[in-house]
Amino acid sequence: MDAADIAEIQKFEVPRDTLGLHVLYDPKATTGGFVTDIVAVHGLGGDSFSTWTDKKTGKMWLKDFLPESRYFHNSRIMTFGYDARAWLQPASNTKPTGRSFIFSESLLGALRSQRILTDTQGRPIIFIGHSLGGIALVLAQARRQLYGDIYESTKSITFLGTPHQGSRPADWASYLEKISQIVGIKRSNVLRELETWSPTLLDLSRTFNEQLPRLLINSFYEKQMYDGVKVVEEGSATLSYLTEIVDGLDANHRTMCKFADRHSSVYRAVLQQLETRIAAIPKQLPEPKDTEENKSPVKLPDVPTSEPVPPKTTAGAGVPCSASELERRMKALRK
């Protein structure tokens, strides 16, 4: 980072409206290195800023620590916020609408607009999802036809405490009951939504599993309890894929995504895997396409394939033309 980038970070203020896509860090100029988009999506009981911010120090690692890495100093770092209250409203007799799952559509729309307006389509994307935010990323990957650029550009996803194995309503009920204890909500109408959407979620999970070979996946699970609750167990927090990197963090479900300082062992564990993945992305990218000039080979002058026929002699001369005349005619043949 240069002085201008540091100054931008220092004067950054958390907006009143935390919904939507927010750019936390965008280098003034890239200084020779790999350029990516980093997008973080929060879970329940948080927002696009508080989820990633340590309360004691006020440090938001996405903004304050990550750009310091030599692997990420050229990256544009963003955070996306959605209305988690839609998931945490008390149960009612209202008919399920299925809209609880549509915030992933808002993420895709906002990110696509950002990339179009800044002419950065095609830039590799690394997603980071905490808890339910990871499910939003899984759902987003199913929108290939409408958001082809984002689908093709997504190279890596890091999941922090994401309940991958919650395909049945009973699994989700257990997860949401634990979340409710943490955020202080006893009942939620999201279970009604899940009963409606469970088959769709299962189908989308299967589709996502088919995409795993093209993605670099990190999955972290919590090793500590919060108020006696371990929200997502290790078995649920992993995809059980061969090339998936799985690691347990010495943190609970709420603290696994916020770090007091850059020397935190939990932060270093997450950073190490993020750096490992971004270092591997260039190997996934196709070879640069040839320019138009390279596509059309330069047409070389024709070269005679046989010995030149001796020039005719002039009538009555009995001698061939001069060497200079022969050279002139040879040059003419090559034109």
Which uninterrupted H or E stretch holds 37?
strand 37-41
Long-range contacts of 226-235 (CB under 8 A, 24+ apart): 226/182, 226/252, 226/253, 226/254, 226/255, 227/181, 227/182, 229/178, 229/181, 229/182, 229/253, 230/178, 231/131, 231/161, 231/175, 231/178, 231/179, 231/182, 232/131, 232/161, 232/162, 232/163, 232/175, 235/165
Q: Is the pLDDT of residue 242 over 60?
A: yes
Strand, helix or coil for residue 246: strand
Instruction: Write out the CATH class of domain 3-284.
Output: alpha beta
% of the chain exceeding 90 in pLDDT: 44
Which of the four pLDDT bands, split at 50, 70 and 90, describes residue 93? Answer: low
> Residues 47, 51, 54, CA angle at the centre, nearest 5°?
135
Q: How many other C-beta atoms are found inside a 10 Å radius of the C-beta of residue 55?
A: 10
Least confident of 86-100, 192-206, 308-322: 308-322
| Rg of the chain, C-alpha, whole Å | 30
Beta-bridge mates of residue 53 = 60
The dihedral of CA 228, 129, 132, 159: what is its sign? Answer: negative
The pTM is what? 0.78
pLDDT at 145: 80
Greater confidence (215 vs 203) lies with: 215
Backbone angles phi, psi at 40, to 5 degrees: -105, 140
What's the whole-number mean pLDDT along residues 134-147? 86
Distance in angstroms (rounded) separating the CA atoms of residues 154 and 141: 9
Model confidence pLDDT, tens digit, residues 150-177: 999 999 999 999 988 655 556 666 777 7
pLDDT at 198: 60
pLDDT at 122: 95
Greater confidence (236 vs 12) lies with: 236
Q: Mean pLDDT across the chain, nearest whole number?
A: 78
CA neighbor of 83 nearest in space, from 108, 110, 63, 101? 101
% of the chain exceeding 70 in pLDDT: 64
Q: Is the pLDDT of residue 91 over 70?
A: no
**Where do the CATH 3.40.50.1820 domains begin and end in the chain?**
3-284
Greater confidence (16 vs 176) lies with: 16
Pair 166, 134: CB distance under 8 Å:
no
pLDDT at 101: 60
Which uninterrupted H or E stretch holds 48?
none
Greater confidence (168 vs 15) lies with: 15
Q: Is the pLDDT of residue 127 over 90?
A: yes
Q: At what angle do helices 190-211 and 169-183 cross, to 10 degrees?
A: 110
Least confident of 6-10, 79-83, 282-286: 6-10
Q: Is 227 exposed, middle or buried (0-12, 13-18, 19+ CB in 10 A)?
A: exposed
Residues counted in the chain = 335
The structure tokens 């839609």 sit at 86
pLDDT at 305: 42
